[in-house]
Amino acid sequence: MLIFWWIFRWISAILVTPSILLGLLLLRYKLVLVTERNSYLLRVGGLGAYILRGLFVFSSKFPALHDRNMHREATKKALYVKQNPPPRPSSTTTTTRSPRVCLMGSSTFTFWTRYKEDLKNFCGVDVSWSGAFGGSCTHQLLPHAHTLCSMYAPDVVVYFCGTNDMNFDRAEAPQTVENFVKFVAIVRQVVPKCQFLYLEASVTPLVVLRGREMVAKFEHHNTVARERLSQMEGVEFVPSSAFQRDHSMYLCDQHHLNEKGHQNLAKALAPAIRRCFEKKGIF
């Protein structure tokens, strides 16, 4: 019996210890994303990038589970925005009221903790709210477009989504771009004159590490998006290639932006946001 007891203990240790370590690493990785601060532990040997690539594989293998998780995250975000709503549009003229800007998309916006400060520094206005939820694909934004965005009557929507579609092998251009077109139509049913800024899909260092085929998929997406959006009124394609492959802009996973990267993102977005305001007569 003693032998069986020791065998059981060894098997338990072999099975449980890696699970505990993996759980601790995932918690540490989430802390890195939330704080936008790097972890030396996760930088060693590219561990952060391996964790994220593992999450890519998991999401691609279990699409139904990923859809349920994203629906739950979107519902939680909608409740948060409802409990912390942006200021209501005033009855004054557009030239005297505060503009209403909404960020929509995935984790590049979700983990941008200082988006209001960064964008105010570069374009001089407050971004009213973020409806982004991390891990989202383009089709997952559509059912929540109203509760996260249009019900609060945005003047400008800054959109960044589609990279997860490609990273998870869920979809690619032109489907990813057409999902954005559907998103625009949903929002404009409520806010007909809303302006949209479509941020280029980032070819991050991690995308480059995944090989030329993946880079080509992202570049094709951006080409299709630029051409399709040029045919739409009140929609502008915003490039970010000036900094998107710079390793110093990213966290330990070489995919999510750090504080410096988000500041450069604000700098890239600011002129386009101001152009939207000028079109609407706000500036």
Give a yes or no: residue 88 inside a domain.
no
Instruction: Summarize pLDDT for 273-283 with one digit per residue, the tens.
Output: 999 988 766 65
Are the beta carbons of 127 and 101 closer than 8 angstroms? yes
Give a yes or no: residue 34 inside a domain.
no
Are the beta carbons of 277 and 155 closer than 8 angstroms? yes
User: Which DSSP state fits 248?
Assistant: G
Give a yes or no: residue 92 inside a domain.
no
Bigger pLDDT: 55 vs 16: 55
Length of the chain: 283
CA dist 24 and 37 (Å) reads 17
Give a yes or no: residue 25 inside a domain.
no
Give a yes or no: residue 66 inside a domain.
yes
Question: What is the model's pTM?
Answer: 0.88
Give a yes or no: residue 93 inside a domain.
no
Nearest to 42 by CA among 21, 71, 72, 13: 21
Residue 255 belongs to domain spanning: 41-82+101-279
Give a yes or no: residue 166 inside a domain.
yes
pLDDT over threshold 70, residue 69 = yes
Helix (H, G, I), strand (E, B) or coil at 23: helix
pLDDT over threshold 80, residue 270 = yes
Strands (E), the chain: 101-105, 129-130, 156-160, 195-199, 235-238
Q: How many CA atoms lie within 13 A of 127 on its CB side?
A: 28
- What is the torsion angle, in degrees rounded to the nearest 10, for the CA atoms of residue 250, residue 78, residue 104 and residue 253? 20
CATH number at residue 108: 3.40.50.1110
Total domains in the chain come to: 1
Question: In the predicted model, what is the mean pLDDT of the chain?
Answer: 86
Q: Which residue has the tokens 């069986």?
A: 4
Instruction: Summarize pLDDT for 197-251 with one digit per residue, the tens.
Output: 999 999 999 999 999 999 999 999 999 999 999 999 999 999 987 777 788 899 9
Q: Which of 81-95, 151-165, 230-244 has the lowest mean pLDDT?
A: 81-95
Give a yes or no: residue 229 inside a domain.
yes
